[in-house]
Amino acid sequence: MSLDVLEDRLREHGYRVTTQRRAVFDAVSALGHGTHEEILRHAQTVDASLNLSTVYRNLEVLEEIGLVRHAHLGHGSPTYHLADHHRHLHLVCSKCKEVLEVSVDTANPLVEELKTSHGFAVDIDHFAIQGLCSKCQS
Amino acid sequence: MSLDVLEDRLREHGYRVTTQRRAVFDAVSALGHGTHEEILRHAQTVDASLNLSTVYRNLEVLEEIGLVRHAHLGHGSPTYHLADHHRHLHLVCSKCKEVLEVSVDTANPLVEELKTSHGFAVDIDHFAIQGLCSKCQS
DNA sequence: GTCTATGCAAAGTTTTTGCACCTGG
DNA sequence: CCAGGTGCAAAAACTTTGCATAGAC
């Protein structure tokens, strides 16, 4: 996704195009996924005066206009990623905290069953899946 | 699960049996599931001087000895429930915030696939499943 | 009597908000 | 210009910690 799309989408929704919004978007793009703090740190390499509250406010805006999404991988802060970022399920080991990434297709039977029997359109990768990895089960 | 089990389990692990621990356990049991604040409010109907920090500390103890577990249903605080509480998947609508409960068996194909191909032992109901309910998809 | 658990208050974290100033259009 | 956006600082919300005392055993 290019910066052109960022500008267009912002304008479409009546938001202004600012250097801070570009910096936050770039940081999310470069990081793949990151928390507010991680995004701030990365974006500050471009604009050192960028403020954490601006990161909070702009991630909200970017999410509202559909360019960015967030997921909950653990008990702490959410992580943000581009909306067209490669999607995958996150398997988080509750013991060693390792995070495995597996194809979202693995969940297709569940996704389809919930759609058929409850009419629920699942966003399967919004929350991680917790459990014990093979090493921690002994 | 009765209070006898609470006492036995606490003693087994070298913890003391206190009125506060009973009150917290009772509150979780009565509420089905609740956040720290909700558990505090309920437990205070029995012991008005019960402190929030005691609720935090005791939920940690009760979880450690296996009587209580927590789940993440949304972006806020976790909710606590008895370990032998009827398990179900939580489907949370990202728009209207409604929470649907469906059988954990719905996820069996996913659970088995993750076990077979990645050796990962899923705790399927630890995190909610986000999406859009049938009403909010139009 | 000993040692853990509790209440209280204070500190630590994370996120939100108010406001004066700056900036995009 | 002028409305919206930003930085800064303060507040709010949430969770943890230190310590003196109460209470379990």
Distance from CA of B76 to the nearest CA of A (A): 10
Confidence at residue A3, expressed as pLDDT on a 0 to 100 scale: 57
Q: What is the pLDDT of residues A92-119, one digit of tens each?
A: 998 888 889 999 999 999 999 999 999 9
What SS3 state is found at A83? coil
Residue in A closest to B73 by C-alpha: A127
Q: What is the pLDDT of residues B71-101, one digit of tens each?
A: 998 878 899 999 988 888 999 998 888 889 8
What is this structure's pTM?
Answer: 0.89
Contacts of B109 in chain A (CB under 8 A): 109-110, 113
Last residue in a domain, options A39, A56, A82: A82
CATH number at residue B125: 3.30.1490.190
Residue in A closest to B109 by C-alpha: A109
Residues A72 and A94 in one domain: no
Which band of pLDDT confidence, cut at 50, 70 and 90, is reported for residue A11? very high
Residues B75 and B110 in one domain: no
Q: What is the pLDDT of residues B118-131, one digit of tens each?
A: 999 999 999 999 99
In chain A, the number of structural domains is 2
Burial B15-32 (b: 16+ CB within 10 A, else e): beeeebbbbbbbbbbebe
State the average pLDDT over residues A33-44: 96
Nucleotides of C under 7 A from a protein CB: 4-10, 14-18, 23-25
Give strand letter and number of the nucleotide nearest B76 (CA to C1'). Answer: D14
Computed over every residue of chain A, the mean pLDDT equals 93
Domain hosting residue A120, numbered range: 88-137
